[in-house]
Structure 1
Amino acid sequence: MILTEINNLGSSSNIKVAVIGCGYWGKNLVRAFSEIGSLAAISDYNANLANDLSKKYTVRQETFDDILLNKNIDAVAIATPAATHYELSKSALLAGKDVFVEKPVSLNLDNADDLVNIANKNSKILMVGHLLQYHPGFLKLKEMVSNNELGNLQYIYSNRLNLGKFRKEENILWSFAPHDVSMILNLLQSMPEKVTAIGRSYLQSKIADVTTTHLQFPEGKSAHIYVSWLHPYKEQKLVVIGDKGMAVFDDGKGWDKKLSFYAHKVQWRDDLPIPEPAESECVGIEKAEPLKLEVEHFIESVSKRKAPRTDGREGKMVLSVLDAAERSMELNATVDIC
């Protein structure tokens, strides 16, 4: 879906959403849903935090149970710790609410499968917050790939690095890598066959601070993902290599330089590959907040009863890769994805 189409998605609407969890990331969801006129209530175990946001956005505080009973609330957006995603999402779906849940959809494949089945059985929307699939830079990159501007994709790599935010309930793989896995699966339109991951813990025992994950796809395609929250500077970069060109999506740069295209070529002479480098070209993208585009997409999905781009099925696919990477680190071996 191109950006102009997304900009036509649900702005102010009759769909009303309650945000569950108003902390580190949840407060951004509160703002985003408020700005499009869909915020109906908020809930957080930290009463002082919830009270401050309630005043700021002129919205009611309610308990989670009261929100589920409130027939004027159509959907919930869950931004609580990952370990709580399954139970809260399940309760909301069974109570008849559509659900937006931040990544990962759960920490367990069986639980993810359960959520997908419950949503399908009850005709409810289940959307996972893989934010970067709504970023104008990624949308343009996806358009370039679809238009064959890069040719046949060969491999992709991503770096997602920063100092913090450190967590105790999940390691760096589960905290940072879901976004990159989601983008890579979208671009290659397939699941990897094998996953190999290495992780190291330096700050907390058994909680990896840095991981490198290699994904082997059909037809010889591959990808690797390097994530760390113990890094001297912030970097969020996705590099896509094709046989006709290469592209770099660097979210750390200004809007006019976030997406670059390299029309590099390789010529064969005397049975040797010879590089023919080209100057980089900045690819124009529209400036728009990814989070606003994401929540508008959710409202549109709820309003029109259509599956969101990052639905529960997509969330489960991402979870399958993360689960395989986790098992690979534990076994110190390559893991097959069935």
Structure 2
Amino acid sequence: MGKKICVIGGGRWGQNHIRTLFQIGNLAGIVETNQQRLEELLEPYPVKGFTELDDAIQQGFDGYILATPAETHYPVGKKLLEKGLNVLIEKPMALSSEHSRHLVELAGQTGARLMVGHLLLFHPAIKKIKEVIKSGKIGRLYYIYSTRLNLGTVRTEENVFWSFAPHDISILDYFIGRPATKIEAKGAKFLQDKIYDVTIAQFTYPGNVHAHIFVSWLHPFKEQRLVVVGSQGMVSFDDSSLDKNILYYNKHIDWVEGKPVKVEQPDEIIVYDKAMPLTEELKYFVNNLDQKIEFASGKTGHEVVKVLETVQELISKNE
């Protein structure tokens, strides 16, 4: 079997981890506190099942996937890391930067491998867009915008930015490679007194690079669109579309005798390998348990939590 991985949490996303790990031959255990659900999960997957985390810890699996609600990430992650156990914690890795920092420190102290489930960093389309930016095909990077919109799933412990935006923050960090020098944000609450349903955050980076993230779980249709604009061309990708194509727009503005002139050439589809991001993410985790987690590491997760926290403070001030 190779490395033996245990999934903690048998909810919707936990089940995706369970299925994918089984497909790649590394599923060895499932922790689910609901006995009936655990029995249902074990029917198609002949692995060890536990209703108590401590019993799974005693098994000493090679790695653990923490796919429980966000408010449990810190206490459960802390328990695993204190014992030197390798863990992939789903996003967000914690609900405060103090807690995320502590998890990183614990991993350093015990030598445990710590990874965060920033799934889109393993999306072949995101990796291809990074290549396009790095190649200079779009010229100098001007700005990036990301929209992550849908009807639900509405959370009661974390707002829409904490729930949806970790993906987008991790992508911005990956594409730009430098932290933002300025962040502005606004949000609105409709369904619950203390939980934001819609937020817009704007980011300024060195070199006059800008970005914004618009997220909402009160939206009539699903959209997961990313647009990258440069001095010589533009790229767009909608992960919610059926074709999931990366589109390159050979468009830019030239200046002729002091006047802006629009230049347009035929658009093109950028070909990439349409592998499943979760499969790529879990393969990376398994393959690096004896080495070092450098991509989507605990430190990366901590930087994302710091941005989430900053935006939370800003939208609270701007009410």
Q: Is the 8 A contact 1:297 1:308 kept in 2?
A: no
Mapped partners of 2:63, 2:84: distance in 1: 8
Equivalence for 2:59: 70
Q: What SS does the aligned partner of 1:15 have? A: coil
Mapped partners of 1:261, 1:329: distance in 2: 34
**Is residue 2:70 matched to residue 1:79?**
no
**Is residue 2:274 matched to residue 1:270?**
no
1:155-234 mapped onto 2 (5 Å cutoff): 155-234=143-222
Letter in 1 for 2:104: V
Q: Give the Å deviation of 1:261.
A: 0.7
**Is residue 2:29 matched to residue 1:32?**
no
Mapped partners of 1:287, 1:206: distance in 2: 39
Mapped partners of 1:85, 1:107: distance in 2: 8
Mapped partners of 2:119, 2:145: distance in 1: 18
Q: Is the 8 A contact 1:252 1:258 kept in 2?
A: no
Q: Is the 8 A contact 2:144 2:210 kept in 1?
A: yes
Q: Deviating runs (4+, > 4 A) in structure 1?
A: none
Mapped partners of 1:309, 1:149: distance in 2: 25
Equivalence for 1:5: none
Q: Is the 8 A contact 1:247 1:260 kept in 2?
A: yes
Which residue, out of 304, 318, 322, partners 2:304? 318
Q: Give the Å deviation of 1:60.
A: 1.6
Equivalence for 1:250: 238
Q: Is the 8 A contact 1:69 1:95 kept in 2?
A: no
Letter in 1 for 2:265: A
Equivalence for 1:102: 90
Q: TM-score, normalised by structure 2?
A: 0.97
The farther-off stretch of 155-164 and 35-44 is 35-44
Letter in 2 for 1:266: I
Q: Give the Å deviation of 1:94.
A: 1.3
**Is residue 2:269 matched to residue 1:282?**
yes
List per-residue Cα deviations over 1:226-280 (Å, max 9, x = no partner): 000100000001101111211112112234x521111212111232212112332
Mapped partners of 1:250, 1:175: distance in 2: 19
Q: TM-score, normalised by structure 1?
A: 0.91
Mapped partners of 2:240, 2:267: distance in 1: 17
**Is residue 2:36 matched to residue 1:52?**
no
Equivalence for 1:7: none
Letter in 2 for 1:227: V
Q: What SS does the aligned partner of 2:155 have? A: coil
Mapped partners of 1:308, 1:14: distance in 2: 21
Q: Is the 8 A contact 2:285 2:293 kept in 1?
A: no
Which residue, out of 136, 142, 159, partners 1:148? 136
Q: Give the Å deviation of 1:193.
A: 1.3
Q: Is the 8 A contact 1:238 1:250 kept in 2?
A: yes
Q: Give the Å deviation of 1:90.
A: 0.9
Letter in 2 for 1:321: V
Mapped partners of 1:326, 1:267: distance in 2: 39
Q: Is the 8 A contact 1:298 1:308 kept in 2?
A: no
List per-residue Cα deviations over 1:124-155 (Å, max 9, x = no partner): 11110011111111111111112222222111
Q: Percent identity, aligned pairs only? A: 39
Mapped partners of 2:249, 2:238: distance in 1: 14
Q: What SS does the aligned partner of 2:106 have? A: helix
Mapped partners of 1:70, 1:131: distance in 2: 27
Mapped partners of 1:45, 1:308: distance in 2: 32
Mapped partners of 2:210, 2:274: distance in 1: 31
Q: Is the 8 A contact 1:44 1:50 kept in 2?
A: yes
Q: Is the 8 A contact 2:84 2:111 kept in 1?
A: no
Q: What SS does the aligned partner of 2:40 have? A: helix
Q: What SS does the aligned partner of 1:215 have? A: strand
List per-residue Cα deviations over 1:292-326 (Å, max 9, x = no partner): 11100110111x41124100010011111111100
Q: What SS does the aligned partner of 1:57 have? A: coil
Equivalence for 1:8: none
Q: Give the Å deviation of 1:74.
A: 1.2
Q: Is the 8 A contact 2:84 2:107 kept in 1?
A: no
Q: What SS does the aligned partner of 2:165 have? A: helix
Mapped partners of 1:34, 1:172: distance in 2: 31
The farther-off stretch of 266-275 and 204-213 is 266-275
